[in-house]
Amino acid sequence: MRHIAVIGSGPAGYYTAEAAQKMWGSEVEIDIFDRLPVPYGLIRSGVAPDHQSIKGVSRRYEAVALSDNVRFIGNVTVGEDVSIAELQALYDAVVLATGAPHDKPLGLPGAELTNVHGSAAFVGWYNGHPQFADLAPDLSGQTAVVIGNGNVALDVARILAKTHAEFAGSDIVGLALDALDASGIERIVVLGRRGPHQIAMTPKELGELGQLERASPLVDPADLPDPGDDAVLEPGQRKSVNLLRAFAALGDAERAAKPITIEFDFFAAPRAIVGDDRVKAVEVETTRLDNGRAVGTGATYTIPANLVVACIGYQTSPIPGVPFEESAGRFANDEGRILPGLYCVGWARRGPSGTIGTNRPDGFSVVEKIAEDIGDGSTKPGRAGFDRLADQRGLKVVRFRDWQKIDEAEQQRARDDAPREKFTDIDRMIEAASKGQPLP
Protein backbone atom coordinates (compact mmCIF):
# COMPACT_ATOMS: atom_id res chain seq x y z
CA MET A 1 0.00 0.00 0.00
CA ARG A 2 1.13 3.54 -0.78
CA HIS A 3 0.09 6.47 1.40
CA ILE A 4 -0.08 9.90 -0.17
CA ALA A 5 -0.96 13.25 1.40
CA VAL A 6 -1.96 16.00 -1.01
CA ILE A 7 -2.01 19.50 0.47
CA GLY A 8 -4.62 21.58 -1.31
CA SER A 9 -7.95 20.52 -2.78
CA GLY A 10 -7.93 22.68 -5.90
CA PRO A 11 -7.46 21.43 -9.47
CA ALA A 12 -3.80 20.42 -8.98
CA GLY A 13 -4.69 18.44 -5.85
CA TYR A 14 -7.58 16.53 -7.39
CA TYR A 15 -5.77 15.81 -10.65
CA THR A 16 -2.89 14.39 -8.61
CA ALA A 17 -5.29 12.16 -6.68
CA GLU A 18 -6.91 11.06 -9.94
CA ALA A 19 -3.50 10.23 -11.42
CA ALA A 20 -2.52 8.23 -8.31
CA GLN A 21 -5.76 6.26 -8.53
CA LYS A 22 -5.12 5.52 -12.20
CA MET A 23 -1.55 4.45 -11.42
CA TRP A 24 -2.23 2.20 -8.42
CA GLY A 25 -5.96 1.46 -8.27
CA SER A 26 -6.83 0.15 -4.82
CA GLU A 27 -3.13 -0.06 -3.85
CA VAL A 28 -3.00 3.58 -2.79
CA GLU A 29 -4.68 5.72 -0.14
CA ILE A 30 -4.81 9.45 -0.64
CA ASP A 31 -5.72 12.12 1.90
CA ILE A 32 -6.42 15.55 0.42
CA PHE A 33 -5.95 18.33 2.99
CA ASP A 34 -7.40 21.82 2.87
CA ARG A 35 -7.24 24.66 5.38
CA LEU A 36 -10.85 25.51 4.53
CA PRO A 37 -13.80 23.26 5.42
CA VAL A 38 -14.78 23.38 1.72
CA PRO A 39 -12.95 21.84 -1.24
CA TYR A 40 -11.91 22.89 -4.75
CA GLY A 41 -9.62 25.87 -4.06
CA LEU A 42 -9.33 28.01 -7.18
CA ILE A 43 -12.53 26.57 -8.67
CA ARG A 44 -14.55 27.90 -5.75
CA SER A 45 -12.56 31.01 -4.85
CA GLY A 46 -10.72 32.05 -8.02
CA VAL A 47 -12.80 31.23 -11.09
CA ALA A 48 -15.22 34.09 -11.73
CA PRO A 49 -18.71 33.56 -10.29
CA ASP A 50 -20.28 34.22 -13.71
CA HIS A 51 -18.18 31.47 -15.30
CA GLN A 52 -20.27 28.57 -13.99
CA SER A 53 -19.42 26.29 -16.89
CA ILE A 54 -15.74 26.39 -15.84
CA LYS A 55 -16.73 25.73 -12.22
CA GLY A 56 -18.56 22.62 -13.46
CA VAL A 57 -15.20 20.80 -13.56
CA SER A 58 -15.64 20.25 -9.82
CA ARG A 59 -18.10 17.44 -10.68
CA ARG A 60 -15.15 15.52 -12.04
CA TYR A 61 -13.26 16.10 -8.78
CA GLU A 62 -16.30 14.92 -6.85
CA ALA A 63 -16.10 11.57 -8.60
CA VAL A 64 -12.52 11.24 -7.36
CA ALA A 65 -13.45 12.46 -3.88
CA LEU A 66 -16.19 9.86 -3.52
CA SER A 67 -13.96 6.86 -4.19
CA ASP A 68 -13.00 4.73 -1.20
CA ASN A 69 -9.29 5.35 -1.34
CA VAL A 70 -9.56 9.16 -1.37
CA ARG A 71 -10.46 11.26 1.67
CA PHE A 72 -11.02 15.00 2.07
CA ILE A 73 -9.41 16.34 5.24
CA GLY A 74 -10.81 19.87 5.45
CA ASN A 75 -10.35 22.54 8.11
CA VAL A 76 -6.77 21.44 8.75
CA THR A 77 -3.96 23.92 8.14
CA VAL A 78 -0.70 22.23 7.29
CA GLY A 79 2.09 24.17 8.96
CA GLU A 80 -0.17 25.02 11.95
CA ASP A 81 -2.40 22.07 12.90
CA VAL A 82 0.09 19.55 11.60
CA SER A 83 3.62 20.05 10.29
CA ILE A 84 5.09 18.91 6.99
CA ALA A 85 7.59 16.77 8.97
CA GLU A 86 4.73 15.03 10.80
CA LEU A 87 2.97 14.30 7.52
CA GLN A 88 6.21 12.99 6.02
CA ALA A 89 6.49 10.58 8.94
CA LEU A 90 2.95 9.32 8.22
CA TYR A 91 2.80 9.24 4.40
CA ASP A 92 5.14 7.91 1.70
CA ALA A 93 4.72 11.11 -0.31
CA VAL A 94 3.52 14.59 0.60
CA VAL A 95 2.49 16.67 -2.41
CA LEU A 96 2.09 20.44 -2.08
CA ALA A 97 -0.80 21.49 -4.31
CA THR A 98 -1.26 24.77 -2.49
CA GLY A 99 -1.70 26.93 -5.60
CA ALA A 100 -0.67 30.56 -5.57
CA PRO A 101 -3.17 32.29 -3.31
CA HIS A 102 -1.24 35.50 -2.62
CA ASP A 103 -0.79 38.64 -4.64
CA LYS A 104 2.55 39.46 -6.14
CA PRO A 105 3.43 42.74 -4.43
CA LEU A 106 2.82 45.82 -6.55
CA GLY A 107 5.92 47.45 -5.06
CA LEU A 108 4.89 51.02 -5.88
CA PRO A 109 4.84 54.08 -3.63
CA GLY A 110 1.29 54.41 -2.27
CA ALA A 111 0.41 50.73 -2.78
CA GLU A 112 -0.66 50.59 0.88
CA LEU A 113 -3.31 53.33 0.48
CA THR A 114 -6.92 52.56 1.32
CA ASN A 115 -8.94 51.06 -1.56
CA VAL A 116 -5.90 49.67 -3.35
CA HIS A 117 -6.42 45.91 -3.52
CA GLY A 118 -4.64 42.95 -5.00
CA SER A 119 -6.65 40.62 -7.19
CA ALA A 120 -6.32 37.68 -4.76
CA ALA A 121 -8.14 39.78 -2.18
CA PHE A 122 -10.64 41.37 -4.58
CA VAL A 123 -11.51 38.15 -6.41
CA GLY A 124 -11.61 36.33 -3.05
CA TRP A 125 -14.08 38.96 -1.82
CA TYR A 126 -16.63 38.57 -4.62
CA ASN A 127 -16.15 34.81 -4.51
CA GLY A 128 -16.83 34.64 -0.76
CA HIS A 129 -13.42 33.42 0.45
CA PRO A 130 -13.56 33.68 4.26
CA GLN A 131 -10.18 35.41 4.38
CA PHE A 132 -11.44 38.29 2.23
CA ALA A 133 -15.14 38.49 3.06
CA ASP A 134 -14.54 41.64 5.13
CA LEU A 135 -12.55 43.44 2.44
CA ALA A 136 -15.37 45.96 1.88
CA PRO A 137 -13.91 47.68 -1.19
CA ASP A 138 -15.35 51.15 -1.67
CA LEU A 139 -17.11 51.18 -5.05
CA SER A 140 -18.76 54.56 -4.58
CA GLY A 141 -16.24 56.53 -6.68
CA GLN A 142 -16.38 57.11 -10.41
CA THR A 143 -13.13 55.58 -11.63
CA ALA A 144 -11.53 52.19 -11.08
CA VAL A 145 -8.03 51.41 -12.34
CA VAL A 146 -7.30 47.74 -13.00
CA ILE A 147 -3.57 47.06 -13.36
CA GLY A 148 -2.49 44.19 -15.62
CA ASN A 149 -3.38 42.74 -19.01
CA GLY A 150 -4.19 39.15 -18.05
CA ASN A 151 -7.43 37.20 -17.72
CA VAL A 152 -7.80 38.18 -14.07
CA ALA A 153 -7.80 41.86 -15.07
CA LEU A 154 -10.62 40.98 -17.50
CA ASP A 155 -12.54 39.15 -14.76
CA VAL A 156 -12.28 42.14 -12.43
CA ALA A 157 -13.22 44.70 -15.09
CA ARG A 158 -16.21 42.61 -16.19
CA ILE A 159 -17.47 42.04 -12.64
CA LEU A 160 -17.21 45.77 -11.92
CA ALA A 161 -19.18 46.54 -15.09
CA LYS A 162 -22.03 44.04 -14.93
CA THR A 163 -25.60 44.85 -14.02
CA HIS A 164 -27.52 42.96 -11.34
CA ALA A 165 -29.42 41.07 -14.04
CA GLU A 166 -26.18 39.97 -15.68
CA PHE A 167 -25.26 38.09 -12.50
CA ALA A 168 -28.28 35.79 -12.87
CA GLY A 169 -27.10 32.20 -12.69
CA SER A 170 -23.81 33.17 -11.05
CA ASP A 171 -22.75 32.36 -7.50
CA ILE A 172 -21.39 35.81 -6.69
CA VAL A 173 -21.87 36.25 -2.94
CA GLY A 174 -24.73 38.47 -1.79
CA LEU A 175 -22.47 40.93 -0.01
CA ALA A 176 -20.54 41.61 -3.22
CA LEU A 177 -23.69 41.82 -5.33
CA ASP A 178 -25.16 44.39 -2.93
CA ALA A 179 -21.97 46.45 -3.10
CA LEU A 180 -21.93 46.25 -6.91
CA ASP A 181 -25.60 47.25 -7.07
CA ALA A 182 -24.71 50.46 -5.24
CA SER A 183 -21.54 51.06 -7.25
CA GLY A 184 -20.86 54.50 -8.74
CA ILE A 185 -18.16 53.31 -11.12
CA GLU A 186 -18.49 54.70 -14.65
CA ARG A 187 -14.93 54.46 -15.91
CA ILE A 188 -12.77 51.36 -15.66
CA VAL A 189 -9.22 51.85 -16.92
CA VAL A 190 -7.27 48.67 -17.68
CA LEU A 191 -3.55 49.46 -17.57
CA GLY A 192 -1.11 47.43 -19.66
CA ARG A 193 2.56 48.20 -19.34
CA ARG A 194 3.15 46.72 -22.80
CA GLY A 195 1.06 46.73 -25.98
CA PRO A 196 -1.84 44.88 -27.65
CA HIS A 197 0.43 42.14 -29.00
CA GLN A 198 1.66 41.37 -25.48
CA ILE A 199 -1.70 40.90 -23.75
CA ALA A 200 -2.25 37.69 -21.78
CA MET A 201 -6.01 37.73 -22.43
CA THR A 202 -7.76 34.82 -24.11
CA PRO A 203 -10.33 35.56 -26.85
CA LYS A 204 -13.38 34.13 -25.11
CA GLU A 205 -12.77 36.21 -22.00
CA LEU A 206 -11.86 39.36 -23.94
CA GLY A 207 -14.89 38.94 -26.23
CA GLU A 208 -17.20 39.06 -23.20
CA LEU A 209 -16.35 42.74 -22.75
CA GLY A 210 -18.02 43.45 -26.07
CA GLN A 211 -21.29 41.86 -24.93
CA LEU A 212 -22.00 43.73 -21.71
CA GLU A 213 -25.37 45.40 -21.09
CA ARG A 214 -24.22 48.74 -19.79
CA ALA A 215 -20.49 48.86 -20.55
CA SER A 216 -18.48 49.19 -23.72
CA PRO A 217 -14.76 48.71 -24.33
CA LEU A 218 -12.62 51.57 -25.61
CA VAL A 219 -9.32 51.06 -27.42
CA ASP A 220 -7.24 53.86 -28.93
CA PRO A 221 -6.57 52.88 -32.58
CA ALA A 222 -3.17 54.61 -32.29
CA ASP A 223 -2.06 51.88 -29.85
CA LEU A 224 -2.69 49.09 -32.36
CA PRO A 225 0.18 47.80 -34.48
CA ASP A 226 -0.12 47.63 -38.23
CA PRO A 227 -2.64 44.83 -39.04
CA GLY A 228 0.02 43.09 -41.15
CA ASP A 229 2.11 42.61 -38.00
CA ASP A 230 -0.57 40.29 -36.54
CA ALA A 231 0.61 37.52 -38.87
CA VAL A 232 3.41 36.60 -36.43
CA LEU A 233 0.93 35.95 -33.61
CA GLU A 234 -0.27 32.49 -32.71
CA PRO A 235 -3.95 32.02 -33.68
CA GLY A 236 -5.47 32.56 -30.21
CA GLN A 237 -3.50 35.74 -29.66
CA ARG A 238 -4.44 36.94 -33.15
CA LYS A 239 -8.10 36.46 -32.25
CA SER A 240 -7.64 38.51 -29.10
CA VAL A 241 -5.91 41.29 -31.00
CA ASN A 242 -8.71 41.22 -33.60
CA LEU A 243 -11.16 41.81 -30.76
CA LEU A 244 -9.15 44.83 -29.66
CA ARG A 245 -9.32 46.06 -33.27
CA ALA A 246 -13.11 45.61 -33.23
CA PHE A 247 -13.32 47.53 -29.94
CA ALA A 248 -11.22 50.33 -31.45
CA ALA A 249 -13.65 50.51 -34.39
CA LEU A 250 -16.77 50.94 -32.21
CA GLY A 251 -18.58 54.14 -33.10
CA ASP A 252 -19.39 56.96 -30.67
CA ALA A 253 -23.12 56.25 -31.01
CA GLU A 254 -22.71 52.62 -29.95
CA ARG A 255 -20.59 53.71 -27.02
CA ALA A 256 -22.92 56.50 -25.97
CA ALA A 257 -25.69 53.94 -25.45
CA LYS A 258 -23.73 52.45 -22.53
CA PRO A 259 -22.88 54.49 -19.45
CA ILE A 260 -19.75 52.57 -18.38
CA THR A 261 -16.51 52.63 -20.33
CA ILE A 262 -13.82 49.99 -20.04
CA GLU A 263 -10.79 51.83 -21.34
CA PHE A 264 -7.69 49.94 -22.43
CA ASP A 265 -4.63 52.01 -21.70
CA PHE A 266 -1.63 50.38 -23.39
CA PHE A 267 2.06 51.24 -23.06
CA ALA A 268 1.17 52.54 -19.61
CA ALA A 269 3.25 51.52 -16.60
CA PRO A 270 1.95 52.52 -13.16
CA ARG A 271 4.66 54.36 -11.23
CA ALA A 272 2.88 55.49 -8.04
CA ILE A 273 -0.47 55.38 -6.31
CA VAL A 274 -1.36 58.83 -5.11
CA GLY A 275 -3.57 59.89 -2.21
CA ASP A 276 -3.53 60.92 1.46
CA ASP A 277 -4.83 57.88 3.25
CA ARG A 278 -7.19 56.84 0.42
CA VAL A 279 -6.27 56.41 -3.23
CA LYS A 280 -7.02 59.46 -5.40
CA ALA A 281 -5.01 58.80 -8.54
CA VAL A 282 -2.52 56.60 -10.32
CA GLU A 283 0.60 58.10 -11.78
CA VAL A 284 1.52 56.46 -15.07
CA GLU A 285 4.60 56.58 -17.29
CA THR A 286 4.17 55.88 -20.98
CA THR A 287 6.38 53.11 -22.29
CA ARG A 288 7.80 51.77 -25.51
CA LEU A 289 8.90 48.27 -26.30
CA ASP A 290 12.56 47.38 -26.37
CA ASN A 291 13.13 43.72 -27.28
CA GLY A 292 9.69 42.93 -25.90
CA ARG A 293 10.32 44.73 -22.61
CA ALA A 294 8.48 47.85 -21.45
CA VAL A 295 10.84 50.80 -21.14
CA GLY A 296 9.68 54.11 -19.67
CA THR A 297 9.75 57.13 -21.99
CA GLY A 298 9.92 59.68 -19.19
CA ALA A 299 6.47 61.09 -20.09
CA THR A 300 3.99 60.77 -17.25
CA TYR A 301 0.33 61.46 -16.73
CA THR A 302 -2.16 60.98 -13.93
CA ILE A 303 -5.44 59.05 -13.91
CA PRO A 304 -7.86 60.04 -11.15
CA ALA A 305 -8.82 56.83 -9.36
CA ASN A 306 -11.12 55.90 -6.48
CA LEU A 307 -10.38 52.18 -6.57
CA VAL A 308 -7.29 50.29 -7.74
CA VAL A 309 -7.17 46.54 -8.27
CA ALA A 310 -3.74 45.15 -9.12
CA CYS A 311 -4.11 42.02 -11.25
CA ILE A 312 -0.42 41.40 -11.81
CA GLY A 313 -0.11 37.74 -10.88
CA TYR A 314 -0.01 35.54 -7.82
CA GLN A 315 2.51 33.69 -5.69
CA THR A 316 2.59 30.59 -3.53
CA SER A 317 2.82 30.94 0.26
CA PRO A 318 6.17 29.73 1.58
CA ILE A 319 6.10 26.99 4.24
CA PRO A 320 8.85 27.06 6.89
CA GLY A 321 11.54 24.51 6.07
CA VAL A 322 10.42 24.03 2.46
CA PRO A 323 12.86 25.48 -0.12
CA PHE A 324 11.24 28.42 -1.91
CA GLU A 325 12.16 30.23 -5.10
CA GLU A 326 11.41 33.80 -4.13
CA SER A 327 11.78 35.37 -7.59
CA ALA A 328 9.26 32.98 -9.17
CA GLY A 329 6.93 32.80 -6.15
CA ARG A 330 6.90 28.98 -6.06
CA PHE A 331 8.59 26.08 -4.29
CA ALA A 332 12.12 25.31 -5.48
CA ASN A 333 11.74 22.00 -7.26
CA ASP A 334 13.14 19.70 -9.91
CA GLU A 335 10.17 18.65 -12.05
CA GLY A 336 8.01 18.44 -8.94
CA ARG A 337 10.57 16.96 -6.54
CA ILE A 338 11.40 19.30 -3.65
CA LEU A 339 13.07 17.03 -1.06
CA PRO A 340 12.92 13.25 -0.52
CA GLY A 341 9.26 12.40 0.03
CA LEU A 342 8.15 15.99 -0.65
CA TYR A 343 6.74 17.12 -4.00
CA CYS A 344 4.82 20.01 -5.52
CA VAL A 345 2.37 20.27 -8.37
CA GLY A 346 0.31 22.86 -10.25
CA TRP A 347 0.87 26.56 -9.55
CA ALA A 348 2.92 25.68 -6.44
CA ARG A 349 5.35 23.92 -8.81
CA ARG A 350 5.41 26.07 -11.91
CA GLY A 351 3.95 29.44 -10.89
CA PRO A 352 0.54 30.90 -11.76
CA SER A 353 0.17 30.20 -15.47
CA GLY A 354 -1.90 28.10 -17.81
CA THR A 355 -5.47 26.95 -17.68
CA ILE A 356 -7.14 24.65 -15.16
CA GLY A 357 -6.62 21.75 -17.55
CA THR A 358 -2.84 22.34 -17.54
CA ASN A 359 -2.83 20.91 -14.03
CA ARG A 360 -3.98 17.51 -15.24
CA PRO A 361 -0.76 16.47 -17.01
CA ASP A 362 1.08 18.08 -14.09
CA GLY A 363 -0.69 15.70 -11.69
CA PHE A 364 0.17 12.69 -13.83
CA SER A 365 3.78 13.78 -14.13
CA VAL A 366 4.30 14.18 -10.37
CA VAL A 367 2.71 10.78 -9.73
CA GLU A 368 5.21 9.21 -12.14
CA LYS A 369 8.05 10.75 -10.10
CA ILE A 370 6.48 9.47 -6.88
CA ALA A 371 6.18 5.99 -8.41
CA GLU A 372 9.88 6.01 -9.31
CA ASP A 373 10.76 7.08 -5.77
CA ILE A 374 8.51 5.00 -3.52
CA GLY A 375 8.11 1.74 -5.41
CA ASP A 376 5.61 -0.46 -3.57
CA GLY A 377 5.30 1.97 -0.66
CA SER A 378 6.31 1.37 2.92
CA THR A 379 4.94 0.45 6.32
CA LYS A 380 4.15 4.05 7.19
CA PRO A 381 0.83 4.38 9.02
CA GLY A 382 -0.92 6.67 6.47
CA ARG A 383 -4.50 7.71 7.20
CA ALA A 384 -4.81 5.69 10.44
CA GLY A 385 -1.78 7.54 11.79
CA PHE A 386 -3.22 10.90 10.83
CA ASP A 387 -6.56 10.05 12.47
CA ARG A 388 -4.75 9.29 15.74
CA LEU A 389 -2.87 12.58 15.56
CA ALA A 390 -6.06 14.52 14.76
CA ASP A 391 -7.77 12.88 17.78
CA GLN A 392 -4.90 13.72 20.10
CA ARG A 393 -4.95 17.37 18.93
CA GLY A 394 -8.73 17.67 18.95
CA LEU A 395 -8.77 18.81 15.32
CA LYS A 396 -12.24 19.43 13.88
CA VAL A 397 -11.68 17.62 10.62
CA VAL A 398 -14.30 18.27 7.94
CA ARG A 399 -14.73 15.20 5.74
CA PHE A 400 -16.28 15.10 2.27
CA ARG A 401 -19.67 13.98 3.60
CA ASP A 402 -19.58 17.05 5.91
CA TRP A 403 -18.78 19.28 2.92
CA GLN A 404 -21.80 17.76 1.18
CA LYS A 405 -23.95 19.11 4.02
CA ILE A 406 -22.37 22.56 3.61
CA ASP A 407 -22.98 22.27 -0.13
CA GLU A 408 -26.63 21.42 0.42
CA ALA A 409 -27.09 24.26 2.92
CA GLU A 410 -25.50 26.73 0.49
CA GLN A 411 -27.84 25.58 -2.27
CA GLN A 412 -30.85 25.91 0.01
CA ARG A 413 -30.03 29.51 0.94
CA ALA A 414 -29.36 30.59 -2.66
CA ARG A 415 -31.08 33.59 -4.26
CA ASP A 416 -33.76 32.56 -6.77
CA ASP A 417 -31.45 33.02 -9.73
CA ALA A 418 -28.26 31.59 -8.15
CA PRO A 419 -26.92 28.07 -7.77
CA ARG A 420 -25.79 28.72 -4.17
CA GLU A 421 -25.17 31.39 -1.57
CA LYS A 422 -21.75 30.60 -0.14
CA PHE A 423 -20.97 30.80 3.53
CA THR A 424 -18.20 33.35 3.90
CA ASP A 425 -17.44 32.48 7.50
CA ILE A 426 -15.65 29.33 8.66
CA ASP A 427 -17.79 28.97 11.79
CA ARG A 428 -20.96 29.05 9.68
CA MET A 429 -19.48 26.39 7.42
CA ILE A 430 -18.64 24.17 10.39
CA GLU A 431 -22.12 24.74 11.81
CA ALA A 432 -23.70 23.63 8.51
CA ALA A 433 -21.32 20.66 8.32
CA SER A 434 -22.14 19.47 11.81
CA LYS A 435 -25.95 19.72 11.47
CA GLY A 436 -27.40 16.62 13.01
CA GLN A 437 -24.20 15.21 14.43
CA PRO A 438 -21.02 16.62 15.97
CA LEU A 439 -17.84 16.61 13.93
CA PRO A 440 -15.32 14.14 15.34
Residues that bind ligand NAP (CB under 6 A): 51, 147-153, 155, 192-194, 198, 200, 202, 205, 270, 294, 311-314, 352-355
In the complex, what is the shortest distance from the CB of residue 48 to ligand NAP, in angstroms, rounded to a whole number? 7
Query: How many Cβ atoms sit within 10 Å of the Cβ of residue 247?
Result: 22
Percentage helix, strand, coil, to 5, in the chain? 40, 25, 40
Asked if residue 270 lies in contact with residue 191, where contact means CB atoms within 8 angstroms, the answer is: yes
Q: Quick one: 179 or 312, whose CB is closer to ligand NAP? A: 312
Q: Quick one: 71 or 162, whose CB is closer to ligand NAP? A: 162
Over its C-alpha atoms, the chain yields an Rg (Å, rounded) of 23
Q: Quick one: 131 or 378, whose CB is closer to ligand NAP? A: 131
Asked if residue 42 lies in contact with residue 57, where contact means CB atoms within 8 angstroms, the answer is: no
Q: Quick one: 151 or 359, whose CB is closer to ligand NAP? A: 151
Q: Quick one: 35 or 194, whose CB is closer to ligand NAP? A: 194
In the complex, what is the shortest distance from the CB of residue 195 to ligand NAP, in angstroms, rounded to a whole number? 9
Nearest residue to ligand NAP, scored by beta-carbon proximity: 150
Residue 136 burial (CB < 10 Å; 0-12/13-18/19+)? exposed
Residue 207 burial (CB < 10 Å; 0-12/13-18/19+)? middle
Measure the CA–CA gap between 176 and 188, rounded to whole angstroms: 18
In the complex, what is the shortest distance from the CB of residue 258 to ligand NAP, in angstroms, rounded to a whole number? 23
In the complex, what is the shortest distance from the CB of residue 322 to ligand NAP, in angstroms, rounded to a whole number? 22
In the complex, what is the shortest distance from the CB of residue 381 to ligand NAP, in angstroms, rounded to a whole number? 38
φ, ψ dihedrals at 368, nearest 5°: -60, -40
36: which residues sit within 8 A by CB, 6+ positions away? 74, 75, 130, 426, 429
In the complex, what is the shortest distance from the CB of residue 126 to ligand NAP, in angstroms, rounded to a whole number? 13
Q: Quick one: 130 or 270, whose CB is closer to ligand NAP? A: 270
